[in-house]
Amino acid sequence: MGAPVAVAGAQDTVDRVRARSGVLAFLAQALRYPTPGLLEELRSGPARAGLDASVTALDPASTTALEAARYAVARALTEAGPHGMLEAYVHTFGHSVRSTFPPYELEYGGVESDDVPRELGALVGFYRAWGLQPSLRAGDRPDHVAAECEFAHYLAWREAEARARDGEGRFAEVREARRRFLGEHLGRWAPALGRKLAGGARAPYDALGTLLAEAVRDECASLGVEGGPPTLPLRPLEGAWEVAPMSCGGCPARGGAPAPEGPEDP
């Protein structure tokens, strides 16, 4: 898979990198399979507070598309019924790898079916290189959008900690990993998934799709990476190769809420 072409990006501060980590953490929680209590957590728990604080830090004047997307998510979550999120998740993503709105990276673009195992292995290798072990118990593939958002959150958290601890000169390795992961993975396909969800998914996943697209666009711009296109073709179904589910279960803030503390460096 080719990486998007790098473009000039704005210089971030420690607080802004932390804020980007917080938005991605919220998405990691909101886009995974709903568990009991998730709706209330996203409506009014620490995850919601973390999202609000993060978007405010990135946009104090409340004038950007990211702020509009945050408001739309809040409204959609408020209107969702007690069982609405689970029903909407199943309706949107289904129970198999391929659905109307596939939440898996390798269902998008020109990946051949025979290449899927190798590409998944490369993605797992990326996680492991940063001390994270995907968990079979989590019940999903490592290219699920929630797992990739969680890993992007973790890398941003690592950069913010490196900046705060070591100053502005010793975070280059983490920042380069963030660029690579966006260019080769999340930034390549998440804008297309986000726009697809925004255009036809059941609430609240339509609003979450807009937030995903805007958050990844903002992340790419901040790192000087050109994000993927707003639409991508799905991988042909002929000979489609499906694997046992798996996801990035070892990441910090596994529930997705922004975390002030994290693991020691491996």
Residue 49 region, left (φ>0) first, then alpha (ψ -120 to 50), else beta? alpha
If DSSP codes are grouped into helix, strand and coil, which group holds residue 140? coil
Cis peptide before 134 (omega within 30 of 0): no
**φ/ψ of residue 220, rounded to 5:** -60, -45
Residues contacting residue 148 through CB under 8 Å, at least 6 positions apart: 105, 181, 185, 186, 190, 248
Is 132 a residue whose pLDDT tops 60? Answer: yes
Could you read off the pLDDT of 17-26 as tens digits, one per residue?
999 999 999 9
Domains and CATH numbers, the chain: 14-223 (1.10.3480.10)
Is 96 a residue whose pLDDT tops 80? Answer: no
Could you read off the pLDDT of 41-64 as tens digits, one per residue?
999 999 999 999 999 999 888 788
The angle formed by the CA atoms of residues 39, 158 and 136, to the nearest 5 degrees, is: 55
Which residues partner with 225 through β-bridges? 6
